[in-house]
Homo-oligomer: A and B are copies of this chain.
Amino acid sequence: MAFDAIETPFAKIDKIIGGSATYVAYAASNFIKPVQQISIVGNDFPQAEMDELTSRGVELEGVEIVADKKSFFWSGKYHNDMNSRDSLVTDLNVLEDFNPVVPDSYQGAEFLMLGNVMPKLQLSVINQLKVRPKLIVMDTMNFWMDIAMDDLKEVLKKIDVLLVNDSEARQLSGEFSLVKAAKKILTMGPKFLIIKKGEHGALLFNENHVFFAPALPLEEVFDPTGAGDTFAGGFIGYLAKTKDISFENMKTAIIVGSAMASFCVEKFGPERLKEITKADIDERLNEFVQLVNFDIDLV
């Protein structure tokens, strides 16, 4: 949970609520309650934002508030293609000493989403859980591959689903072909691998199976910040709602994640996620069905 400053080719905002956990919670809470949040903020994090999350069934007992520090702050500028960006400022602030503690009331959680933080912290959360969750999903990024690959590989051994983008899959595996990369990563721990390709959709790999989910072709991407986290939140939220972790159901969960991400990019930060209704989500899911459905009589 954090603050972001975002500049795109179209617009600019100096301060907006952000952070992986925020986006995951906004997306997942459309499908499952409660969402039990673990995070850390400073004295500057608005109570109104906390209340907004609480009203959606997000429990905040695991969110530490540090009285004498500021929340994590990130500032970034997107390039014209909206697929790449430069980080301008990264102020760790409260994140410097983050030591996540799982509240007793969270014990027994069946679905665990590990947002993109230091692998050691992800491992700590897993180790604090007395009963292993039914499904552990992990997000990570190239930065941790650069500076904490050994820790990251430890976490990989303990999870079920890994979420990375295409260049991260290549970095982690040392393979350029995504099919070869997936095969290698599936020997490192996770049984399922999701490779996110931004505007080009996402691939789900499991054993010898592969599923492809497109991204919705949009007239405009207003702000891609948080799209990956929103995807993750929709994905695990749908799985938690349906309590079915088969490959078949994960296909649907990826479509749900893609639909949620397609909302996220329509406005700055999580603004659009705060507005959407169940009817909006159903309509968007139907657009995905139309987008990829075809009839075929074999030749």
Contact = CB atoms under 8 A, between A and B. Distances in A.
Interface of A: 30-31, 80-81, 176-180, 197, 200-201, 203, 209-214, 217-220, 238, 248, 251-252, 255-256, 278, 281-282, 285-286, 288-296, 298-299
Interface of A is mostly: mixed
A159 B290 CA distance: 26
Contact of A217 (B210, B286, B299): B210
A30 B210 CA distance: 27
A213 B286 CA distance: 17
B299 A30 contact: yes
A201 B218 contact: no
A271 to B, nearest CB: 21
A200 B203 contact: no
Given A197-B200, A282-B298, A212 B179 contact: no
A219 B175 CA distance: 10
A164 to B, nearest CB: 15
A203 B295 CA distance: 16
A295 B293 CA distance: 11
Nearest to A212: B214
A295 B256 CA distance: 11
A294 B252 contact: yes
A177 B294 contact: no
Contacts of A252: 294-296
Given A80-B176, A200-B200, A294-B211, A256 B299 contact: yes
Given A200-B197, A252-B294, A177 B219 contact: yes
Given A177-B219, A178-B217, A278-B299, A291 B80 contact: no
A31 B297 CA distance: 13
Given A200-B197, A294-B255, A299 B31 contact: yes
A66 to B, nearest CB: 36
Given A200-B201, A282-B298, 17 more contacts: A30-B299, A31-B299, A178-B217, A179-B219, A197-B200, A203-B217, A210-B291, A211-B291, A211-B292, A211-B294, A212-B291, A214-B214, A252-B296, A255-B296, A278-B299, A285-B298, A285-B299
